[in-house]
Amino acid sequence: MRMLRGTLEAPYKDLNMGGWQVDYASAGEEEVFDADNVFKVDFARNPFRFDKHVKAYRQLKKIIADGDYEAIHTHTPVGSVVTRFAAKKAHKKGVKVIYTCHGFQFYKGGPKRDWRLYYPVEKKLARNTDLLITINTEDFALVKKNFKCPAKMIDGVGVSTEKFAHKYTKAEKLAARKQYEIEPDDFVIVYLAEFRSVKNHQRLIEAVAPIIRENKKVKLLFLGHGKLMDAAKEQVKALGVEDNVLMPGYVRDQYFALVQSCNLCVSAAYQEGLGLGVLECISAGLPIVIADTRGHRDIVKNNKKYLFDPYNIDEMTEKIKDAVKSPEKYHIDFDERYTLRNSLTEMKKIYEEYLG
């Protein structure tokens, strides 16, 4: 949005396009500062909330009709379905419709229910999509083979390396740890993820609990919030590891120094479009062990050394235990194609091609 409006600041000012009015529609979960007009729409993540979908559809039809837009760029699975239905009339009149898929709900090895529910809808709506953008190779291959619409792949939404890779001093990192009662000699395993079922916190907690019982200096740090956070707190209490599992929610003060002060990044998600949290941790210099899922496989180029089965708790325990013992084995170089600059550059090329 900043790029289109021409308000990108250093070090990205050279990528500004400028001159576009950018309006933004969302469910209103967070305040938006980078749009000309902001609309609250009753989007729902649950595909079965038809009452919400109908309401959102009507709201969007009015916004699109009143706005006289040249292009609509939509994100998120269910919201993008509703938006493209609402934009059908405008699309016939020449309005460009772009959909960035951050990971289809259906994927290799995924539940058959999701394939039956989501795949036919996405395939049908592809006919009303001028460009479908994916962020991993599995989704891109599927679109190219089965969907009737142009497709491009970009390397995620981009990591702000100037924030995560900035070299914080030892004092700054210790200060960040102290704020969350983490001792200087604690071994901190960090997971950057919202508390949702797809992120698989429950299995990860069960996998790390025996490691903590063997070594009380091991801490598991969850940075994120979500509706399953209370259930996770009850689980760690039942397992007797509540003193070693930290859930501060969203952290703003000293966040980047805190991430860089950790010793190991994990991701147990069994469904990922790519894995921005993992990329951020790699940029910060952390070793990683992550779930063997779409997106994650792209990050490590299918190197099994870094991967574990997210459904196999014993395998997860052994992999993490080995990484705690020898973290240097699990270091990985950050790939520059995942930088924010590269993602913005790719999107600028797309906008120039499709918007003129």
pLDDT digits 0-9 by tens, 161-176:
999 999 999 999 999 9
Q: In what order do the strands lie in the sheet with 307-308?
A: 245-249, 218-223, 187-192, 264-267, 288-291, 307-308
**What are φ and ψ of residue 149, in 5° steps?**
-160, 155
Domains of the chain, residue spans: 2-158+339-355, 161-337
Closest listed residue to residue 107, CA positions, set 98, 116, 115, 99: 115
- Cα 86 to Cα 80: distance, rounded to the nearest angstrom: 10
Average pLDDT over residues 312-335: 98
Bond preceding residue 11 cis, omega within 30 of 0: yes
- Residues 86 and 290: their CA atoms lie apart, in Å, by 38
The one-letter code for the residue type at 81 is V
Predicted confidence (pLDDT) per residue in 113-161, tens digit:
999 999 999 999 999 999 999 999 999 999 999 999 999 999 999 999 9
Can 2-158+339-355 and 161-337 be said to share one CATH topology? yes
Phi, psi (5° rounding) for residue 247?
-135, 75
Percent of the chain topping pLDDT 90: 95
Q: Round to whole Å and give the CA distance between 6 and 14.
A: 10
Q: pLDDT digits over 298-307, tens only?
A: 999 999 999 9
| pLDDT, position 253 | 86
Could you tell me the pTM of the whole model?
0.94
Tens digit of each residue's pLDDT (9 = 90 or more) over 247-283 = 999 998 899 999 999 999 999 999 999 999 999 999 9
What's the CATH superfamily of 161-337? Answer: Glycogen Phosphorylase B; (3.40.50.2000)
Structure tokens at 119: 């795949």
Mean residue pLDDT of the chain comes to: 96
How many residues are there in the chain?
A: 356
Q: Which two tokens stand for residue 325?
A: 């013992």
**Is residue 269 a contact partner of residue 275, using CB atoms and an 8 Å limit?**
yes
What value does the mean pLDDT take over residues 232-253? 96
**pLDDT bucket at 109, cuts 50 / 70 / 90:** confident
Options 3.40.50.2000, 3.40.250.10, 2.40.30.10, 3.40.50.150; which CATH number does 2-158+339-355 get? 3.40.50.2000
For the chain, the C-alpha Rg in angstroms (whole number) is: 21
